[in-house]
Structure 1
Amino acid sequence: MRWIPRLAVGVICITLAACSSSPTGRQQLTLYSDEQLNQMGQQAFNQYQQELPTVGGATHRFAECVASALVAELPQQQQAQNWQIRVFEDDSANAFALPGGYIGVNTGLLKIATNQDQLAAVIGHEIAHVLANHANERVSTQSATQLGLSVLQSATGMQGAQGEQLMGLLGAGAQYGILLPFSRRHESEADTIGLSLMASAGFDPQASVELWEKMEAAGGAQPPVWMSTHPSQGQRIGGLESGMNEAMARYEQARSAGKRPNCSYPG
């Protein structure tokens, strides 16, 4: 088994060469450049616009108003990007933000997020993924995992049906033991960052809990937490509530500084 220490040394070398920190101080594996991630974001955004119709008028102005107030609170480097937002005609209650400054909101979300504060909770969360380099970390982890499995298969000489079956089990172990836990960590971290972001912009952070309570009421059956890329709704609400005192202090400070967004929900 001489290949095991060699594989370990390889993984350590990759980690040391591409190690960075998230806004919360968590260590990350980031193998891709900002330019590469921005290009990925642009390609994904273009694909969305090709596949789904967009909505304009008062609905777009509402989403743009909320997003603009949040973007104004970003660090200068991220704030300087040409942020674009589109509202997509889609019944799923979803939104996203992509590297490069792209934001999408589905019309289905606006049936649940029915005021500016609730929508800010979602968009702030999605922008937080970009701020925290989660897309880079996710694709980097997937790339490193696939490389490790390929090296393992070559080193052990696993061939044929038995080898494929074992590699399938190892792949499932990597999926549930490495990739999905990273994603759950991303979601919790984005909740923390997004809560601070919306409060700094003058949106009521308490609306984040209201929003997730509504999402919980509207949602159907969910997979077990260990098989999900998201924390359970209860875990998410608990995490938001634990950071609420600090967020409310930030919110009051923002309001005192005159930050009072006035984004009209399309009626």
Structure 2
Amino acid sequence: MNNKLILSLCAATAISISGCTTIADMAGADSATLNSNATLGFNKTVQEARANKTLDTTSATYKKVNAAFIRLKPYADQMNQTGQRFDWQLAVLKSDQINAYVAPGGKVVFYTGIVNRLNLSEAEVAAVMGHEMTHALEEHSKQKLGAQALTNLAVNIGKSYAGSQIGELGNAAIDLGSQVGVGLPYSRSLESRADEGGLMMMAKAGYNPQAAITLWEKMAKQGGAQGSALLSTHPSDANRINAMKKNLAAAMAVYNARGGK
């Protein structure tokens, strides 16, 4: 079957998540391969960022993101049912873009713009990270991209929206982002799953889940602002926020059971 047709079927028909991931497996985009390719892309991203002096390893923003990363990792591992061990790694890139993603296998990429421009607290950073970790742990990119994962179609779409930002961050960061569906927005159902999973993950790690609501309220105010790359694939609106509020009670129960810390 033509690869573009496979992608269209996964995106446009009522095929289940398991159905599309099976198609991806058959086309050579199995979990181990996706994770391996993401590792290569992540390593190249870090190398380019070092060369371009856009890799942040010391600022207050980096420390805030890293603190959330360290606290969430054990609970992310508890959620992992992919059959593949995730080798969690973090890269914080200096950029005004409002963006963050987690590539297959646990490669976390945060742009400083999402923290600084939205003035995120550590708990709000954890809300972003938990959401993106859930996408990776449930292999949503695999279901979304199907047989086209890691191919030029995804790469070209990612570059087309990134435009002039390629020169700032280097091709590797754009290519790695393409592997998680940049330019191919997740469906509403997958976004809801990531919202719910992220809420529970941050609650287990001792972050107040209410920070997820304030996060997406801040994101909603950004609207179509230039540099809001995350919003191109993660639409934020009143319906979404209201849906998250419905899941808040369960997450708060987990948080409060920890003594609120």
Is the TM-score greater than 0.5?
yes
Secondary structure at the counterpart of residue 87 of structure 1: strand
Q: What's the offset of the Cα at 1:110?
A: 0.9
Kindly indicate whether residue 222 of structure 2 is the aligned counterpart of residue 218 of structure 1.
yes
Aligned length: 200
Letter in 2 for 1:192: E
Determine if contact 2:76/2:133 at 8 Å carries over to the other structure. Answer: no
8 Å contact 1:188–1:231 — kept in the other structure? no
- Aligned with 2:202 (options 198, 201, 207): 198
C-alpha change, 1:235 and 1:56, in structure 2 (3 Å) is: same
Matches within 5 A, 1:114-125: 114-125=120-131
Q: Structure 1: which 5+ runs fail to align?
A: 1-5, 144-178, 223-227, 261-267
Superposition misfits of 4+ residues, deviation over 4 angstroms: 76-80, 179-182
Residue 98 of structure 1: which of 95, 103, 107 is its match? Answer: 103
After alignment, is 28-37 or 236-245 more displaced?
A: 28-37
Q: 1:59 — aligned with what?
A: 61
For structure 2, the residue ranges without an aligned partner over 5 or more in a row are 150-182, 227-231
Distance 1:87 1:124, change over 3 A: same
Could you tell me which amino acid in structure 2 is paired with residue 36 of structure 1?
T
Flag the 1:63–1:180 CA change in 2: closer, same or farther, 3 A. closer
Task: Give the SS at the match of 1:220.
Answer: coil
User: 1:31-71 CA distances to partner (integer Å, 9 max, x unpaired)?
Assistant: 23221110221133234324441111143222111011111
Contact 2:88-2:106 within 8 A present in 1 as well? yes
Match of 1:36 in 2: 33
Kindly provide the amino acid, as one letter, of the partner of residue 214 in structure 2.
E
Matched, 1:255 2:252: no
> 1:131 is aligned with what amino acid?
L
Aligned counterpart in structure 2 of residue 68 of structure 1, from 59, 67, 70: 70
Q: What TM-score comes out, normalization by structure 2 length?
A: 0.66
Paired-residue identity, %: 36
Per-residue Cα deviation, 1:149-205 (whole angstroms, up to 9, x for no partner): xxxxxxxxxxxxxxxxxxxxxxxxxxxxxx967533322211111111111111011
| TM alignment of 1:172-187, pairs within 5 A | 183-187=187-191
Whole-angstrom CA distance in 2 between matches of 1:37 and 1:48: 16
Look up the match of 1:137.
Answer: 143
Aligned mates of 2:44, 2:128 — CA distance in 1: 22
1:97–1:104 Cα contact (<8 Å) kept: yes
In the alignment, the residues of structure 2 paired with residue 77 and residue 121 of structure 1 have an alpha-carbon distance, to the nearest angstrom, of 16
CA contact (8 A) 2:85 2:105 kept: no
The 5 A counterparts of 1:157-172 are none
Deviation at 1:90, TM superposition (A): 0.9
Q: Who is 2:91 aligned against?
A: 86
